[in-house]
Amino acid sequence: MARWTLTDSGDFFRRVAAAVLFCLATDGVLVGDDWPQWRGPTRDGIWRETDLVESFPGSQLPVKWKADISSGYSGPTVAEGRVVVSDRLVDEGRQVERVHCFDAMTGEKKWSFAYDCPYDDVGYPAGPRGSITLDDGNGYFLGATGHLHCFDAATGAIVWHRDLRDEWRIRMPNWGIACSPLVHGRLVIVQIGGSDGACVVALDKLTGQEQWRALPDPASYSSPIMIRQADRDVLVVWTGARVVGLDPLTGQLHWHVPTPPQRFIRACASPVWHEDYLLLSCFFNGTRLLRLSRDRLAVETVWHRAGRSEQETNGLHTNFAEPFLRDGFLYGVDSYGQLRCLDARDGRRVWENLEVIPQRRWSTLRFIRTTDRTWIFTDQGELIIARLSPEGYKEVDRARVIQPTRVQLQRRHGVCWAHPAFAYGHIFARNDKEIVCCQLHSAESQSRDDTR
């Protein structure tokens, strides 16, 4: 379980070529890959840049730039030298969702747009959940109540807008809509839990017109991914009732595995795809490992481990941070912040570390992998350089990126639950007050960049 596979190599390389041309056009100021959507270029939490720092200069990463924003759970995304992020603002009784665009290297605000958006029945109303998807010069933003906007990423001009809640009669989840839109070819695909068989909806990305709808299921808080199975693209969606494989062009159901929720729907993490396996982990339901057939559109369950309660866990009960598979082992964070390694063959625990983050309910770690190490962003706003293996956890260094704030979670000293972006040798992270950019290029790499 060591290699990774592109879900759409042609599309991926077109995006890389566009990024290279953009960098050349701006005198090489930007070096490295974009981070244009949820969990990176291929939605797998892998950062494919090199020449990164081996350690940090101190306990606080130097901030290259920062800018004021308001609250939200949505992580920033980065493409073509732009950083976009969404938030929520309540001002004199008016509730709005907003989208902001900043220059990736200077933090200069390029534009913003806002629209009225009452959160009348959205629990934990800190702000939008899903990350914006940037694709071919446009952005796609799905807000917490179901407003889907397509906008021009250079200017912020609205290309089209659909109120999915009203038009598709969304059965609103307890904590609102949390899906990060997935672009596939001409389609933008979202999980919304609409009525009349519209749990998952595909729209024309240029016009917003519906192309297909699928499934009567309630929505979860998970975002879809695209995989390759039996030489075909397969859309994988974890709904509030099951995980499914769909034809991305028609919505036809290929296979499904029931995942009945314990207590209530709590599936937040995206499915994780690695070679012939799909990994699902949930706060109440524990962890499932599925094996994908190589020559036909089918799956089977390898194992499912779930504890007796959120405190007495058996395996891994993640809050909303995706675990990962590597070399036959599974790494992830459990319900109270326990970092664990499991044997992928049967889900048996290999080791546990209780010192990475304070042990509290919903404590969360975000895992971002490069070639030789794992970067861990904690919900306390720290970035850790670590090496994880079956032998244990080795912390190389850690430094603070941003301070936790209390709008997302009004307990403890606050949290930073939004997933950061990693692009151009930098980290882009947000809390409920600001977005910051910190350099992670090595000194040698930065020196080369500065002389270009």
- For the chain, give the secondary structure using H, E and C: CCCCCCCCHHHHHHHHHHHHHHHHHCCCCCCCCCECCCCCCCCCCECCCCCECCCCCCCECCEEEEEECCECCCCCEEECCEEEEEEEEEECCEEEEEEEEEECCCCCEEEEEEEECCCCCCCCCCCCCCCCEEECCEEEEECCCCEEEEEECCCCCEEEEEEHHHHCCCCCCCCCCCCCCEEECCEEEEEEEECCCEEEEEEECCCCCEEEEECCCCCCCCCCEEEEECCEEEEEEECCCEEEEECCCCCCEEEEEECCCCCCCCCCCCCEEECCEEEEEECCCEEEEEEECCCCCCEEEEEEECCCCCCCCCCCCCCCCCCEEECCEEEEECCCCCEEEEECCCCCEEEEECCCCCCCCCCCEEEEECCCCEEEEECCCEEEEEEEECCEEEEEEEEECCCCECCCCCCCCCECCCCCEEECCEEEEECCCEEEEEECECHHHHHHHHCC
Mean pLDDT of 149-153: 98
Q: Is the pLDDT of residue 5 over 90?
A: no
Mean pLDDT of 242-247: 98
Phi and psi (nearest 5°) for 235? -85, 120
- Name the band, by pLDDT with cuts 50, 70 and 90, for residue 26: very low
Cα–Cα distance measured from residue 327 to residue 258, given in angstroms and rounded to the nearest whole number: 27
pLDDT for the residue numbered 200: 99
pLDDT for the residue numbered 4: 34
pLDDT for the residue numbered 21: 41
- Name the band, by pLDDT with cuts 50, 70 and 90, for residue 445: low
Q: Is the pLDDT of residue 29 over 70?
A: no
Cα–Cα distance measured from residue 449 to residue 377, given in angstroms and rounded to the nearest whole number: 26
Domains of the chain: 84-398 (2.130.10.10)
- Name the band, by pLDDT with cuts 50, 70 and 90, for residue 446: low
Range with the lowest mean pLDDT among 17-31, 85-99, 303-317, 410-424? 17-31
According to DSSP, the residues that pair with 114 across neighbouring strands are: 98
Global pTM reads 0.93
Residue 267 vs residue 20, higher pLDDT: 267
pLDDT for the residue numbered 219: 98
Mean pLDDT of 271-275: 97
Q: Is the pLDDT of residue 18 over 80?
A: no
Q: Is the pLDDT of residue 209 over 60?
A: yes
pLDDT for the residue numbered 87: 98
Mean pLDDT of 381-406: 98
pLDDT for the residue numbered 76: 98
Q: Average pLDDT over the chain, rounded to whole?
A: 92
pLDDT for the residue numbered 411: 83
Mean pLDDT of 141-157: 98
Q: Is the pLDDT of residue 439 over 80?
A: yes
Range with the lowest mean pLDDT among 9-13, 271-275, 340-344? 9-13
